Structure 1
Amino acid sequence: MRLNSKQICEYTGGRVLVEPIDASKLACGITWDSRTVELDDLYVALPGEKVDGHDFVAAALRAGAAAALVQEAPDEATRLLASEMGAAVIEVSSTFAAVTDLARAWRGYLRGHIVGLTGSTGKTTTKNLVRDVVAASFSVAATQGNQNNELGVPKTLLSADPETEVVVVEMGMRGLGQIAELCEFVKPDMGLITNIGESHIELLGSRENIARAKAELIEALPSGTGCAFLNASDEFTPFVLECAEAQARSLGVWRYDGSAAEADETADAYATDVRLDDEGRPRFTLHVAGEEAACELNLRGLHNVHNACAAASVGARLGMDAATIASALAAAQPEAGRQHVIRARAGFTIVDDAYNANPDSMRASLAMFSSLATSGKRVAVLGDMGELGDYAVACHEGVGRAAAASGLDYLVCIGELSAHIARAAREAGMDADTVFETDSIPGVLGELDNLLEPGDTVLVKASHFMGLERVVGGLVN
């Protein structure tokens, strides 16, 4: 973003409360966290139930913000401070809405490709892989972490420069129409869907409705020039194409398939000779756009072959060759909290997959865990999954059966819903003496203290609200 105070007012319907010392001065970044303000940022004061950003306008100005966007006029002392710092203070009716207004306006300055990305699982990992692949040949901006909501999506656009060649925008959703709302100002010309799973089934009621919601991304692509990247092995891909009227609108369609055993070799990007090394990292031959290259991932689990093939299809569509794509995939690193392997000082290994979970990612993580070579015991710590509604019990039972089939030595379950994981695991054949239940983080750590020895490996996974990163921290320390 590079906008002066006049432009900010024009695009947001705001009015200047404090004039900047230099009307041509540009705000070159955006943040609503006063602790992360960098020189010449635009600070946005967001109201909140617990924390009100208006209380930190002065701190943002002292940190070097070029301007502050507010919906409540600051006190006289803050106005004087802004004048002293040469910064603008701009009042709008809603700072939340203003962020989207700015992104909508800034989108008109962006000349590169905009890749929208969504899916039930693997969004953030695939977004990171697309980013890393594209960065090998192009300038790229991408969603930070999993900031894929109504604030994170516009922030991603605003982080790009007009000269940025590719912008990768991760999009989350909790209901029908939300991706369509995001696409209204993102205006992607490329769209990638990782898969259609059970995440958010509580709100949408069926996988068909989930597919319909995800299809909004493909529906938003421009007719004749838009390009969709879809999972060839996902049963809902034909439904998505039908919803988007892809053929009638002459959309380009690239299909990818990372299935380990039966990849669709008619896909535009697919993998053969798939295997895992002793640490669960995939090795395979990547086939993309008529070329092939040996590929090795630092990410763990067979499911990441799908994600890699998805990223490869985007790279190939942009003109990259297979060797360059494979090299970029090999250099990609996992994000903290997503199957991140940590060697604890006590001599055991932690697989930190605590960032989030749904039934599909639980099963994928257990499959990955069973493939790891370990000299000791395999212990899984599994917690509750959210947003499953009436399906919650059945989904947790399914994870319990998957846990029983994955070769675990011990299973520790935390949370009310995870009692169903424990029960189903026992019913599926796990020895009752190897399955433990607790309702607290200290309880988990207490069980692990009794179980873990040097050489053992422990998997930690649950939905983010369970806070199992505290288990990881406890084990590390």
Structure 2
Amino acid sequence: MTSTPSSTHFLTIKNTFISTKNHIHTSLNTPLHAPNSPIWTASEIAESVHGKLLKWGPPGTICTDTRALQPNTNQWFFAITGQHFDAHDFISPQLYGKGCVGVIGNRVCEGWDNGFVQVEGNGNVNTVDSLINMASYARNKRFNGVLVGVTGSVGKSTTKSMIALALESLGVNVFKSYGNWNNRVGVALSLIGMDRNVDIAVLEMGMSGKGEILELARMVRPEIRVVLNVGASHLENLGSLEEVAMAKSEIFREAKLGDICVFNADDPLVSTLPVPHGVRKVFFGRRMGCDVRLVAAETADGGLGVRVVLEKEKEMVKFVIPSPGLHLALDACAAAAVATLFGLSLAQVGKSFSKFVPVHMRSELQVARNGIKIVNDAYNANPLSTRAAIDLLQSIACDGNRVAILGDMLELGSIEIESHEKILSHCCDSNIDLVGLAGNRFLIAAKNMNLNRVKNIVHANDAKILAQKIVKRLKFNDVVLVKGSRAMQMEKVVDAIKAMSIHIPP
């Protein structure tokens, strides 16, 4: 399974990076604060959106949220239109004092005196399409580095962060997309918001249906294309795991000679995905013959870390990721497969991963003032990631109760109840002491399994009500997992646990 040597095209790019010196990396962690966002001139804006410069405005950064505008700064407000909202409604002269020097969109309010670029077309044009045009312009005319695109059913944000962390050790300017900005708007804003001197950008790419990854790949045009795994997510739109795999494979479809496609060798739905002729393949995973192989993974530090052994050719490295969850080992393997393409040794990669800090609300260990340990994994959920989270909970040393607080897993289509039943069975098999459930899907599953009246299972319709119930059952030395699909807003449970007042014995 070992791949062929890299192409001359990519070696040239790689060598350029290895010799780059004196670059400063800036970490961008939140969409509301991007201090190094690039400056766009009014003429560049008009050209990029195929629009008309109707009113001149000074150069500035791009903003899509009036709440993020900052006084005494030059910002152009891009008015996004969607199915259920229209940001043009927020345009008023009051924006002048908030740093808005211009508007990009269909229209402005009466009496608007600052800059205005009217997007292509007449009438109420969908400005998201214009945002995509601007992102493509940024990628094609303002970015000269190497772009890494990462997709998969689980682990995208963590793997993206690990890749960026390792590449920082090259001494080059690395950009990673904010949070999980992985849909068409988020990816577009990531491209638009990259500084001109970025050398390597790492973007995650998500989807809920066919054609979405292909659109993102055409916008991003990554030189390195990664598929992490295929799991039971988005089945409501796609119907089967095979269809999910084909949707993910869209990232490979238009790869060109010199690009590199990175596969999970352990996932048969990934390892067999087709790529264009002549494109190099790189494999990661536990199987023999992988370009980067996960030799071993075990819990460390009482379950609060993961000891990992990776191998590449004749080099082997051991390190500890200071975060709970054995699933992080395969994410690290995937990230290492990418990072070593840029000339990093496994030893350098392992040193970087030993400093890894979890992405917010993704297996993030938090210790509340009341003594309760919380594994905040509340950002999203599907059967694969939820099962892994329960295993994580079981692996953490605990002097009190292990508590799993789970919100419904959405977009599972015809297998949704079956999937929730399997998760409840896994909780029972894992001897979880207390289970909290939020949502109708878990309620139906519990009733089907005659668990709805079991004393150690607490149920509520939503996260807010569940939080009120569950906090009455917690003690200072408990370890609590909180996980659920994004729409379930399980962070409300996390906040309620943190706010609890519990007497901690001396």
Q: Same fold (TM over 0.5)?
A: yes
Deviation at 1:304? 0.9
- Taking the aligned partners of 1:424 and 1:407, their CA distance within structure 2 comes to 20
Which residue of 1 is the match for residue 168 of structure 2? 135
Separation (CA, whole Å) in 1 of partners of 2:86 and 2:128: 14
Matched, 1:437 2:462: no
Partner of 1:31: 63
- Partner Cα distance (1:178, 1:345) in 2: 43
Q: 1:290 to 1:34 in 2, by over 3 A?
A: farther
Equivalent residue number for residue 154 of structure 1: 188
* Alpha-carbon displacement from aligned partner over 1:124-173 (angstroms, at most 9, x marks no partner): 11111112112221311111001111111111112223431111111111
The question of 1:176 aligning with 2:210 is answered yes
> Could you list the per-position Cα deviations for residues 184-232 of structure 1 after superposition, in whole angstroms to 9, with x for gaps in the alignment?
221111101110111101100011110000001011221x201011111
Superposed displacement of residue 13, structure 1: 2.2
The Cα of 1:443 is off from its aligned counterpart by: 3.8
Which of 75, 93, 105 is residue 110 of structure 2 equivalent to? 75
| 1:440 CA displacement | 3.7
Relative distance call for 1:136 and 1:351 in structure 2 (3 A) is: same
Percent identical among aligned pairs is: 27
* 1-structure distance, mates of 2:322, 2:311: 19
Superposed displacement of residue 121, structure 1: 0.8
Cα deviations by residue, 1:333-352 (Å, 9 ceiling, x for unpaired): 11221122222222222211
Per the alignment, residue 254 of structure 2 pairs with 220
Q: Which residue matches 1:260? A: none
Q: CA–CA distance in 2 between the matches of 1:307 and 1:178?
A: 23
Which of 34, 39, 43 matches 1:6?
Answer: 43
| Paired residue secondary structure (1:335) | coil
Q: Cα gap change, 1:287/1:40 in structure 2, threshold over 3 Å: closer, same or farther?
A: farther
Q: Distance in 1 between matches of 2:479 and 2:181?
A: 31
Equivalent in the alignment of 2:349: 325
1:330 and 1:421, CA in 2 relative to 1: closer, same or farther beyond 3 A?
A: farther
What letter matches 2:62 in structure 1? I
> In the alignment, does 2:99 pair up with 1:64?
yes
Aligned to 2:22: none
Distance 1:54 1:432, change over 3 A: closer
Residues 65 and 270 from structure 1, CA distance in 2 versus in 1: closer, same or farther, beyond 3 angstroms? farther
| Uncovered stretches (5+) of structure 1, i.e. residues with no partner | 83-87, 258-262
Which whole-Å CA distance do the structure 2 matches of 1:19 and 1:442 have between them?
48
Aligned to 2:242: 208
Deviation at 1:279? 2.9
**Could you list the per-position Cα deviations for residues 316-339 of structure 1 after superposition, in whole angstroms to 9, with x for gaps in the alignment?**
011111122112112121122112
Q: Match of 2:184, SS?
A: coil
Match of 1:393 among 405, 413, 417: 417
The CA distance in 1 between the partners of 2:343 and 2:445, in whole Å, is: 46
Q: Report the AA paired with residue 239 of structure 2.
A: G
TM-score (norm 2): 0.84
Query: Which residue of the partner structure matches residue 254 of structure 1?
Result: 282
Q: Which of 407, 412, 424 is equivalent to 2:436?
A: 412
Give the CA deviation at 1:290. 3.7
Matched, 1:471 2:493: yes
CA distance in 2, matches of 1:309, 1:18: 51
Is residue 397–residue 423 contact of structure 1 (8 Å, CA) maintained in 2? Answer: no
- 1:65 to partner: Cα distance: 3.8
Residue 461 of structure 1 deviates from its aligned partner by 0.9
- Structure 1 segment 276-295 matched on structure 2, within 5 A: 276-277=299-300, 278-295=302-319
Q: Over residues 264-300 of structure 1, what are the superposed CA-to-partner deviations in whole Å (9 max), with x where a residue is unaligned? A: 2321112224210213421122223542222211232
Matches for 1:343-358 after TM superposition, within 5 Å? 343-358=367-382
**Displacement, 1:400?**
1.1
How far apart are 1:425 and its partner, in Å? 6.6
Cα deviation, residue 421, structure 1: 4.5
Q: In structure 2, list runs of 5 or more residues that go unmatched.
A: 1-37, 500-506
Check if 1:199 corresponds to 2:233.
yes
- The number of residues matched between the two structures is 451
Larger RCO (CA within 8 A; separation ≥ 6): 2
Q: Which stretch shifts more, 305-314 or 55-64? A: 55-64
Residue in structure 1 matching 2:145, options 106, 112, 133: 112
CA distance change for structure 1 residues 162 and 330 in 2, over 3 Å: closer, same or farther?
same
> Which range moves more in the overlay, 55-64 or 365-374?
55-64
